[in-house]
Structure 1
């Protein structure tokens, strides 16, 4: 019987997972080294969407001070907005101390025997590099792809009957486990763009700035200076399909209603 690969991966979502990486991983704090490892692991706690780094004890350059862990939120999806200090697997939490600098509950040692001798670190608490390049937002998932493809589909974007954008030259982004996104040329945005102060980071695409409109805040985003792998997206505009009505080649698309889609809508402040 043939198996759907995506379904099989989702069946693992609720368990503790890890994958070795050959990348040279370093973490810094105020210009000083906290972690320096050539034997790191990527670790996904149960229900965590994105991975974080775990390194062998000998690769830790800071003091680990045991503390009581935060309680598990029991949320069905632990998205990046839920702090690292919230854990969904048994283990020991630590404050990370480097001289006078302390990052509270920024390290965690899972009880799982397959991860014995490793410590997981809070990505947001430190400055990280893979080899000699900085990493944004969270480690890249080796099982995820981001493919941008030029298209001639006719894409129309509306909200509450107001036309926001219309294009015959979109770029479609296919990202593993996520809803396809249509990135449109800026000149195909028809509604007046209003200022937004929101900025987010993606480890695959770079830093995104957001666009608001009279009919809603932070409905769209753009990568003005994307990372090299996402260079085809420079200056293009994508909309939250969760909050707008998208018609492709005359066929209305259903708004995403998965748990992950709801998390994204809430996390990014779409209104």
Structure 2
């Protein structure tokens, strides 16, 4: 079976998975399950026996699920663990909120944001096509040196050298986002000559992960929020 899955879709992972919390590994298993709760990305589920019961404090009972606080010494993360108690395929499994733990590892490699989807691929390809970007009729970027990023099931993204972008219109933003394939992104607002601000329409990766190292320091625009032409053809 291949995506899109009828949710929830469950697969054996076949990797050692460890979860670090408050200085110790609270999960260390070779039997983790990858579960697609939605079509976009998977999360890890575990057998209840993979997590010591003293770490769990009952918090809230829901239909088909028991929610626990995660407790270690004097540290408590409320609602961090959910055990599924219904009659579907998830019964008897539990999940730990990814953000509740201090770190996650597959084998000895740290993972971020969520587990990588084994059915997803990310390719970065150098191109010589001409890409031009306008916002409200103002040209803010023009390049013949784009790098196109293709990510399975998502629209193509265009990364371009910052020197081909109107740097005088960029204002650093405090926004950051994280991606398990690319790393941590920083953002710029675009401030047009008339003073109008378009917030967080440009992002870049200062230190992307190795599979996307080709986009280091390059700028990408939210195509959905700007006007883009590729080789003279307006994109929709």
Q: Does the pair score TM above 0.5?
A: yes
Rg larger for: 2
Equivalent residue for 1:206?
A: 183
In structure 1, what is the Cα distance between the partners aligned to 2:225 and 2:87? 40
- The TM-score normalised by the length of structure 2 is 0.88
C-alpha contact 2:5 2:39 (8 A) present in aligned 1: no
Equivalent residue for 2:45?
A: 54
Equivalent residue for 2:8?
A: 16
Equivalent residue for 1:107?
A: 81
**1:48 Cα offset (Å):** 6.2
Equivalent residue for 1:31?
A: 23
Q: Per-residue CA shift, 1:18-58, capped at 9, x if unaligned?
A: 2221222111122222211111111222x463322112223
Equivalent residue for 2:232?
A: 250
In 2 relative to 1, CA 112–37 (structure 1 residues): closer, same or farther, beyond 3 Å?
farther
Aligned residues: 227
Q: Deviation above 6 Å: which 4+ runs of structure 1? A: none
Equivalent residue for 1:153?
A: 129
In 2 relative to 1, CA 248–123 (structure 1 residues): closer, same or farther, beyond 3 Å?
same
Equivalent residue for 1:85?
A: none
**2:36 counterpart of 1:44:** yes
Query: Which stretches in structure 1 are left out of the alignment for 5+ residues?
Result: 71-88, 255-271
1:1-271 superposed matches below 5 A: 9-10=3-4, 12=6, 15-45=7-37, 47=38, 49-61=40-52, 63-68=55-60, 90-110=64-84, 111-126=86-101, 127-192=103-168, 193-214=170-191, 215-254=197-236
**1:11 Cα offset (Å):** 6.2
- The TM-score normalised by the length of structure 1 is 0.77
C-alpha contact 2:129 2:144 (8 A) present in aligned 1: yes
Equivalent residue for 1:265?
A: none
C-alpha contact 1:204 1:227 (8 A) present in aligned 2: yes
Query: Which stretches in structure 2 are left out of the alignment for 5+ residues?
Result: 192-196
